Amino acid sequence: MRFDASLPSSALQQVPELAQAVERIGFDGLWTAETQHDPFLPLALAAEHTRRVQLGTAVAIGFARSPATLAYTAWDLAEASQGRFILGLGTQVRAHIERRFGMAWPASPVAKLRELVGAVRAFWSAWQHGERLQFRGEYFKLSLMTPFFNPGPISHPQIPIYLSGVNPGLARLAGEIADGYHAHPLHSARHLREVVRPALAEGAARAGRSAGEIALSTTAFVVSSPSEADLVRFQIAFYASTPSYRPVMALHGWGDVADELGRLSRRKAWEQMTPLISDAMLDEFAVVAEPAGVPAGLRRRYAGLVDRLTLYLPFSPGVQDDFWQQVASELRSA
């Protein structure tokens, strides 16, 4: 099991030091998210200042970009990192696509994401092998690639694509067409085992692939102090208030709690949401342990279940370095 770090929200000038520390501590990968900053720009700096660690987006919002812009950016990062780049794509939810990015929400998110991946790969194939660019679908029709706009072949053209999601539809799609799947932080071991893994396997079977070809990556909530418990309860409540995440709660018989969280969220009654997350929910969705017991707790929950693990704690160099090294060592042995 690989142990990865999440880049904190940082100014670009801080990225080289952060990336070098990630490699020094012993992490296997470094992920960026599309929240307060562009997810790709930090990885160009990280590629320049590291040699071993894998670099990827977890995630970049696919529906906020054209397949051409994604293809060009990933192509350059793959070459700059000497093959260490992973393109992680997510859909986001309708409100953000329409009201934050100003883009149209598709009639079928799964269908559009399928096309987006195919279109990106069509660009890569045209550039690497000199093939004619020819992709026709419902959402994208691509047929123009002149030498002036063709970056040409690179040394590491096999760029992994990870998809992300919560429910079975996107997991099946990842099993069918992707190299990996980012499972959402709001999950339980049971949800990964009973919902995510079977969906990945179903998708893989449709494509005549082995489920073992698709890497399962996820981010884990960790609670090792009372203050962390309050923060994680709020984060669980926030995610569970979104209709897309209700099935995760419903799997454990907490669908009514998710409905109430949704009502409170719509009223912006944030302070009333956290108390609804019980100790049982916290134990189900987070690894709860004393600091020294966190590595063993993570190993018990995730060994043999996921291929890549990140903690829901942005890494900062010089802060708890011993803790991070201990976790990395424990999970590597798993």
The mean pLDDT value for 218-228 works out to 94
Q: Which residues, 6+ apart, have CB-to-CB distance to 149 below 8 Å?
A: none
Residue 334: the pLDDT is 65
Residue 222: the pLDDT is 97
Model confidence band, residue 330 (pLDDT cutoffs 50, 70, 90)? confident
Higher-confidence residue of 227 and 118: namely 118
Q: Is the pLDDT of residue 333 over 80?
A: no
Residue 34: the pLDDT is 97
CB-CB neighbours of 220 under 10 Å: 20
Residue 184: the pLDDT is 95
pLDDT digits (tens, 9 = 90+) for 28-55: 999 999 999 999 999 999 999 999 999 9
pLDDT digits (tens, 9 = 90+) for 56-75: 999 999 999 999 999 999 99
Q: For the chain, give the mean pLDDT.
A: 96
The mean pLDDT value for 96-122 works out to 97
Q: Is the pLDDT of residue 313 over 90?
A: no
The mean pLDDT value for 18-24 works out to 96
Residue 310: the pLDDT is 97
* Segments making up each domain of the chain, as ranges: 2-222+293-321
What superfamily would CATH give domain 2-222+293-321? Luciferase-like domain (3.20.20.30)
The mean pLDDT value for 10-37 works out to 96
Model confidence band, residue 159 (pLDDT cutoffs 50, 70, 90)? very high
